[in-house]
Amino acid sequence: ANDGYDLWLNYIKIENKTLLDKYNKAFNGYYITGNSETLKAAENELKRAFSGLLGTKPKVLNSITNNCIVLATKNESVLNGQIYAKDYEALGKEGFIIRSVKINSKTCTLITANTDIGILYGVFHFIKLIQTQQISNKLTITEIPKLDIRALNHWDNLDGSIERGYAGNSLWKWDELPNTVDKRYIDYARANASVGINATVLNNVNSNPKILTKSYLEKVKALADVFRPYGLKVYLSVSFTSPIKLGGLPTADPLNPQVIDWWEAKAEEIYTLIPDFGGFLVKANSEGQPGPQDYGRTHADGANMLAQALELYKGVVMWRAFVYNSDPEEDRVLQAYNSFKPLDGQFKDNVLVQIKNGPIDFQPREPFSPLFGAMPNTSLMMEFQITQEYLGFSNHLVFLSTLYEETLDSDTYAKGKGSTVANVIEGKYSSNKLTGMAGVSNIGNSRNWCGHPFAQSNWYSLGRLAWNPETSSESIADDWIRMTFSNDKEFIVPVKKMMLESRETTVDYMTPLGLNHIMAYDTHRGPGPWVDTAAQPNWKSTYYHRADSIGIGFDRTTSGSNAVSQYYPAVRDTFNSIETCPENLLLWFHHVSWKHKMKSGNTLWDEMCQHYYNGVDKVRKMQSSWNKLKSFIDDERFNKVKQLLEEQQEEAVIWRNSCVLYFQTFSKMPIPGELERPE
């Protein structure tokens, strides 16, 4: 049985006897210098992996012998000039090298780095090579993360609930902390370190000010102490009115000296407890959260005041750009850009502006946010959502890596052709100092962490893409399947196909052709294209799809809301023309006649129906692929996925039928004959 608790660190014994012998011969023990907590973690991981994967206990060696693994940081004398100084320089604080080398004429595998955390990352990478059976005879690996801050954002509330969480309650047992420290926290840290995640924001961006009280800070410290050996820094979401709520001040105005003093004292208190505290994440003047605009100040004033308080300790502020309440009559898509673009260059060096991948809100498909590339004098970080708020919760199999990849590969044209979003967040075009990527966590206290066994792959992908935003989803899926399930090609090929197609499948049965935000009101589960009663215009589904007797879609062209003009000219022109706008974003940018001729020759209406029907068909194909794979894995995970795919199929049918029948009340056109079938 396998309950999924071990995630991709699933060290089950290699079945292939030849390979097993080969690995056991090539790696018969390890030699380690140093004994920090981080190196101990590396050593423990190696032991655990060897006993699981190879069925052996590796020898701990006192000197370097043939076929051993050497773990040593830069300055260890045993290395004897193996690696050039300039190679170390390139590694920075977190990079590592894995190389087959000869030391004192002994053949061994060297894992080296400037720091202990680099060694730990190297060890996880090395274990991955064994898990995925990809150890070559001559290893020459250099890995350096491309982004500084690689973060999970937990939307966890202090009462244990999780906003938009679908895998149980919060992992953080606030009532037990700091005295009782759940062992599970260590496994959480191991999993993050294994993919290079080095930052965790523990609490919801809709923040309860209590998180900054002394008693909570002591709990936070206990977690920070557990995570530290794994290179995982703790950050907190803070409420802008904390000085009022906790400090009893009459105002939270960022320019008020008492407010400034309050935050400085709070920073000192935090850093006394947690010397390597990462910093603050802030949702301000967004969806009812307080912020600097309440005092007539700007986002920059607010962010800079907090940044000033953290600067002394090298802490950072991650200030979210998710705002849309300034003027409900203005196209919501315009608002983040209009609020933040004018502030470019005004943020302090230790501020990052954290931007959601698209201009609305984590939809199954959105164009990239035009802020990427538009603020060359500001550190911009990416915010993706791992939890499937709008993508079927933890009940639908959706591999999100392809969604992330699509955004990262999008061309902003900020510096001409090839200026991808990935390049922007890697800081290639800006004077800014910091880089980062955050994923809104899908982790809860359910035994398998994420609810759906495949949802684990989304946590994994976020880590891999934060380490290197240019990694392909194909290779991420390949590694994840091998590590989590099996190295058998007959399993890998169909499962990889399912994963790589799954996001498009979901787009098809939920929101094809650029449709968006037509989910059920508030819960965002299931269809609700008819919702017209919500309090704010931009909470009504009908606001987004604009269906009428003529056609469907939101006109954001130069003659509509003009959102296209927030993009660089080449992109603007592509989106602006109905001829060149990619069809998968057509209804995002255009109000299109039901009879409009699509590239396939179909009318828009027929094409839309086709997508909805295809979506359901593709879920059924996933089911039949999966059903053939029973013999490759344990019953527990096999059955769980099987049952979830059944649910997904049922919900896909509900999505399809609801949307097609609802939109038909506008188009008044028949469902194409070849699609109609008895259910």
Positions that interact with ligand GCW (CB under 6 A): 155, 163-164, 205-206, 283, 287, 322, 361
Give the shortest CB-440-to-ligand GCW separation in angstroms: 7
Give the shortest CB-205-to-ligand GCW separation in angstroms: 5
Euclidean distance between CA atoms 298 and 621, whole angstroms: 51
- CB proximity list for 643: less than 8 A, separation 6 or greater: none
Give SS3 for 289. Answer: coil
The DSSP string of 298-322 is: -HHHHHHHHHHHHHTTT-EEEEE--
Q: How many CA atoms lie within 13 A of 531 on its CB side?
A: 22
Comparison of 52 and 444: residue with beta carbon closer to ligand GCW: 444
Comparison of 32 and 317: residue with beta carbon closer to ligand GCW: 317
Comparison of 205 and 397: residue with beta carbon closer to ligand GCW: 205
Give the shortest CB-125-to-ligand GCW separation in angstroms: 32
Comparison of 283 and 637: residue with beta carbon closer to ligand GCW: 283
Distances (CA, A) of 1 to 4, 12, 637, 645: 9, 12, 8, 20
Give the shortest CB-270-to-ligand GCW separation in angstroms: 23
CA proximity to 236, closest of 199, 182, 273, 261: 199
Q: How would you class 341 by CB atoms within 10 Å of its CB: exposed for 0-12, middle for 13-18, buried for 19 or more?
A: middle
Comparison of 89 and 522: residue with beta carbon closer to ligand GCW: 522
Comparison of 117 and 205: residue with beta carbon closer to ligand GCW: 205
Comparison of 219 and 283: residue with beta carbon closer to ligand GCW: 283
Phi and psi at 383, nearest 5°, equal -120, 110
Give the shortest CB-22-to-ligand GCW separation in angstroms: 49
Give the shortest CB-62-to-ligand GCW separation in angstroms: 53
CA proximity to 246, closest of 211, 283, 219: 211
Euclidean distance between CA atoms 640 and 409, whole angstroms: 33
Phi and psi at 97, nearest 5°, equal -125, 135
Q: Write a three-state SS string for 154-186.
A: CCECCCCCECCCCCCCCCCCCCCCCCCCCCHHH
Contact in structure between 589 and 580 (CB atoms under 8 Å): no
Give the shortest CB-333-to-ligand GCW separation in angstroms: 14
Where in the sequence numbering do the catalytic residues fall? 287, 361, 389
Give the shortest CB-354-to-ligand GCW separation in angstroms: 10
Strand order from edge to edge, sheet including 106-113: 59-60, 29-32, 68-73, 106-113, 96-103, 140-143
Euclidean distance between CA atoms 457 and 453, whole angstroms: 8
Tokens of 346: 């005004």
Comparison of 23 and 322: residue with beta carbon closer to ligand GCW: 322
The DSSP string of 344-355 is: TT-S-TTEEEEE
Phi and psi at 125, nearest 5°, equal -65, -45
Euclidean distance between CA atoms 92 and 142, whole angstroms: 12
